[in-house]
DNA sequence: TCAATAGTTCAATATTTCCGAACTACTGAA
DNA sequence: TTCAGTAGTTCGGAAATATTGAACTATTGA
């Protein structure tokens, strides 16, 4: 069974995106998700040396900023970046930020 | 007499820029400085309903992130966005973020 | 039913941010 | 020179936020 963990967020804001990506751990998570180009569960997408409650909180922030959406498949959560939605709202922004995220 | 308040920051990082611009007050300051296309002192560039110690702190963060540079002219500080330096380090980033900052 | 896995929630602690008060630095006027 | 006014910084405590371990829920497979 696949279902959404949270309803899709209505408004994606610039401040929300910047605040979400300003944290190195969250930027790393989004980078991982984009690079893999597919869904990943929370543990494999996030930094390993971090309490799982902290990791869970970072994913919540990313969800609430509208950057990712999460579906629950069995025991794990599958996360994916909402690239289409973000690009529709802020054309070029995500690409422009992530372009520099590996240096 | 004109002199630099702080030495130019060596490294401008993506995380630093995002963290600096993630704060609405600081984003607003950078927006003002870019729009005016000239130097402004701290009071006129920042939000008015804010303690001056808080405002001073925001300018410090912007300086330390390498986003602005500050010169002291007489009794006031003149601030300007380091557009050339930022564009050299992260081409297109600043423009891409500020493009969406007025919506 | 039970153990294992993935993630959330909660309460305590650690860290960061905000603000008022006191301070420094500069200017222009008396 | 003194003195008042302006612009900004620094500092200490209060308010807000982030991090964590422990306890919890939900799902799966044995």
Please report the number of interchain residue pairs, chain A to chain B, with beta-carbon separation below 8 angstroms.
50
Q: How far apart are CA A32 and CA A26, in angstroms?
A: 10
Domain segments of chain B as ranges: 2-98
From the CA of A44, how many Å to the C1' of C30?
73
Which residue, among B31, B67, B60, has the nearest Cα to A14 in the 3D structure?
Answer: B31
**pLDDT at residue A103, rounded to an integer:** 67
User: Is pLDDT at B71 greater than 50 in this prediction?
Assistant: yes
Whether CB of A73 is under 7 Å from strand C: the answer is no
pLDDT digits (tens, 9 = 90+) for A25-70: 999 999 999 988 666 776 777 676 789 999 999 999 999 999 999 9
Q: Report the CATH number of the B2-98 domain.
A: 1.10.10.10
CATH topology of domain A2-6+14-99: Arc Repressor Mutant, subunit A (1.10.10)
Percent of chain B with pLDDT over 70: 84
Of B18, B100, B101, the CB nearest to A21: B18
Q: What is the mean pLDDT of chain B?
A: 86
Q: Which residues of B touch A (CB under 8 A)?
A: 14-15, 18-19, 21-24, 27, 90, 92-93, 96-97, 99-101, 103
> Which nucleotides in chain D have some atom under 7 angstroms from a protein Cβ?
5-12, 18-23, 26-29
Write out the two tokens for B61. 């963060």
């Amino acid at each position: 069974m696949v279902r959404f963990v949270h309803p899709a967020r209505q408004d994606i804001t610039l401040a929300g995106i910047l605040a979400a990506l300003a944290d190195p751990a969250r930027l790393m998570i989004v980078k991982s998700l984009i690079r893999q180009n597919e869904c990943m569960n929370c543990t494999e997408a996030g930094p390993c040396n971090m309490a799982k409650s902290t990791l869970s909180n970072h994913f919540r922030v990313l969800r609430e900023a509208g950057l990712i959406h999460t579906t629950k498949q069995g025991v794990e959560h599958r996360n994916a970046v909402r690239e289409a939605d973000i690009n529709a709202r802020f054309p070029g922004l995500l690409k422009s930020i992530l372009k520099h995220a590996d240096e």
